[in-house]
Amino acid sequence: MIPAPAASPALEVSGLSHRFGRVQALRGISFSIPQGAFCALLGVNGAGKTTLVSLITRLYNSSSGEIRVAGHDLRRSPRQALAKLGVVFQSRALDADLTLEQNLSYHAALHGMSPAKARLRIGEVLELVDLAPKARSRVATLSGGQQRRAEIARALLHRPQLLLLDEATAGLDLRARADLLALVRRLIAEEGVSTLWATHIFEELLPRDRALLLHRGAVLADGTCADIAADRPLEQAFLTLTGAAAA
């Protein structure tokens, strides 16, 4: 294995394509996310967001192109690349009948951590997501927002450099959404974790946030929300851009 250069971007995607039978879901897309950055992934239904997330998590193999996580090529060094990746899926990955601590111990063991290391790290991640007092609570007894934070704690166990969140705030109330987003922004600032955040909720984004707008499998815009919005509300810019591209 060739060691990754120290200052590699958290994620580099180049010339990535994928097709499902006759449907070309991604058409040679390229972009990169530097270390310690937040990037929103936007696009109408069917734009290719889930396909992109599935290729980065190696659920599917791409037909062509390259994905590098923290400098590690996902095809040639999958173990090293995936070790740098934490994922929060839309669906739940924690067992609701077990306590938070039991769930995290199980996932720490999957990452090959010794019980002693796991205990330490579980304490750290629960502090990070403000759930330390809930360690012995069954996941089923946590609120929706707490459960999403617990999922983030799970995703952080192995100290990833890139956190991938697929509509992590879907179904949460306004307060829980704001708290979750504040947590992710704190992780970026304090832990240097980069984030790719797939969302349909524009109010979550700040003008300075980077956004990648996918449309029909291609990158339609890549820049700050302020640049993409160009003096319009972001939502209106999104509708105009995707409408014009569809015409």
Ligand X SMILES: Nc1ncnc2c1ncn2[C@@H]1O[C@H](COP(=O)(O)OP(=O)(O)OP(=O)(O)O)[C@@H](O)[C@H]1O
Applying CB under 6 A, which residues contact ligand X?
Answer: 20, 23, 25, 43, 45-51
Sequential DSSP letters for the chain? -PPPPTT--SEEEEEEEEEETTEEEEEEEEEEE-TT-EEEEE--TTSSHHHHHHHHTTSS--SEEEEEETTEETTTSHHHHHHTEEEE-SS--S-TTSBHHHHHHHHHHHTT--HHHHHHHHHHHHHHTT-GGGTTSBGGGS-HHHHHHHHHHHHHTT--SEEEEESTTTT--HHHHHHHHHHHHHHHHHH--EEEEE-S-GGG--TTSEEEEEETTEEEEEEEHHHHHTTS-HHHHHHHHHHHHH-
Q: Shortest Cβ distance from residue 25 to ligand X (Å)? A: 4
Q: CB of 62: closest distance to ligand X in angstroms?
A: 13
Amino acid at 174: L
d(CA 212, CA 166): 14
Minimum CB distance to ligand X smaller for 9 or for 48: 48
Q: How far is the CB of 33 from ligand X (least distance, A)?
A: 18
Between 49 and 84, name the residue whose CB sits nearer to ligand X: 49
Beta strand 210-215 with 38-42: parallel, antiparallel or unpaired? parallel
Instruction: Give whichever of 43 and 145 is closer to ligand X, judged by the CB atom.
Output: 43
Q: What is the smallest separation between the CB atom of 79 and ligand X, expressed in angstroms? A: 25
Query: CB 54 → ligand X: shortest distance, Å?
Result: 7
- Rank residues 23 and 244 by Cβ distance to ligand X and give the closer one: 23
Q: Write down the least CB distance from residue 40 to ligand X, Å.
A: 13
Least distance between ligand X and beta carbon 15 (Å): 18
Nearer Cβ to ligand X, position 157 or 213?
A: 213
